[in-house]
Amino acid sequence: MTLSAERIVLGVSGGIAAYKAPDLVRRLREAGAEVRVVLTQGARAFVGPLTFQAVSHQPVHTDLLDPAAEAGMGHLELARWADRVVIAPATADCLARLAAGLADDLLTTLCLATEAPITVCPAMNHVMWRAAATQDNLATLVQRGIDVIGPEEGSLAEGESGPGRLTEPAEVVRRLIAAPAAPRTAGHAPKSGPLAGRHVLITAGPTREAIDAVRFIANRSSGRMGFALAAAAQASGARVTLIAGPSTEPTPTNVERIDVETALEMHAATLARASASDLFIAAAAVADYRVADPVTHKLKNSREQQTLALVANPDILRDVAALPNGPFTLGFAAETEALEEHARHKLTAKGLDMIAANRVGDGMGFEVADNTLHVLWPDGAVTLGPATKGQIAHDLLTIAGEQLDGAG
């Protein structure tokens, strides 16, 4: 498949990765697309319009109120001309401006004025990428139906390492070809089912806590239970947001997925959305501790004994349960012994509405497809399984849905 005859507006915003954008133009054209480039003022500080003109074989658009450009192809014509708008690189500022709906330059105006699908390829410093403001802006854009490609992990321009690299142009083109331009559908609105009209927020998978540039502390969680719950909630009619730690599980259809890495990122992404949700399911295996002082370079092997200082991570589930007017909270408890006793203690101690306890160790729980869950709530209990995680997820949501309806 190719991008044959597809008309693409490529927006370039002002980050160091802008130097890769001419290569992206070349590859888009090789794949058959017709490309018109829009540069922000910031982008022009990195790469000049003449370069883009040479590779796109088209005039380059830079200003909103340039009489000459408006006489050629004005901003509204450009917005209508596009089959798809791709922004690469999309800086933190660019994402913020899109999320806020600003229209004070050509690129933001065009994005507001177009009905074409929009794909953003973020690239920025890793701290800026992880900032709660950036993640919130991204979630807003995803909710509005904007597609996101990247960023990738790796070394960044400043000599640091982390998520923030622009996805390589060849990969961007491959992903665009794999996801044909389709109209934007914001919100994946629920249709029918026991959870119709409900917004379900789920955490899933492990978290990773950096030790140095290449090493981290993680756990054996596959994310399978949380992903199965997301699919089951979606099938029950809910609008589902899945906040996922690193997991190879595929994203369930019509589920909004937000990828995070650390417990702090998962905490920020969850708390930003919890009040707006009806049911919160904490299926993630969140690291209870993080390294107090991770280093940004790779630690050398000194052959000497090492001690890692750890500090406690916030408890996401506890913080959601403590929200005034927060959602119905369903937590998980992975226990090796005294399962019901420990689970009931967590139910009370964390102020939850429901808890699902499973036994771990001896090959049970993590990384296995079959499961048994002991579900407890203040005045009831039931055992589910053994069954597949898909079946368990469905049954658990049915019980949670009943209690949620009972709670009003």
> What is the distance between the alpha carbons of residues 48 and 37, in angstroms, rounded to a whole number?
11
What minimum distance in Å lies between the beta carbon of 313 and ligand CTP?
5
HSE-up of residue 36 (Cα within 13 Å, Cβ side): 25
Q: Find the Cα–Cα–Cα–Cα dihedral 42, 48, 54, 57, rounded to 10°.
A: 40
For 359, the 3-state DSSP assignment is strand
What minimum distance in Å lies between the beta carbon of 271 and ligand CTP?
11
Tokens of 80: 């209508």
For the question of residue 219 being annotated catalytic, the response is yes
DSSP 8-class letter at 210: E
> What is the distance between the alpha carbons of residues 126 and 124, in angstroms, rounded to a whole number?
6
Whose Cβ is closer to ligand CTP: residue 164's or residue 226's?
226
Distance between terminal CA atoms of the chain?
50
Whose Cβ is closer to ligand CTP: residue 57's or residue 345's?
345
Whose Cβ is closer to ligand CTP: residue 149's or residue 263's?
263
Whose Cβ is closer to ligand CTP: residue 109's or residue 203's?
203
Contacts with ligand CTP, residue ranges (CB under 6 A) = 203, 263, 282, 284, 286, 288, 313, 315-317, 331-334, 346
What minimum distance in Å lies between the beta carbon of 284 and ligand CTP?
5
Of 125, 137, 219, 313, the active-site residue reads 219
What minimum distance in Å lies between the beta carbon of 74 and ligand CTP?
51
Beta-carbon contacts of 228 under 8 Å, excluding residues fewer than 6 positions away, are 389, 390, 392, 393
Run of H or E including 242? strand 239-244
Residues with catalytic roles: 219
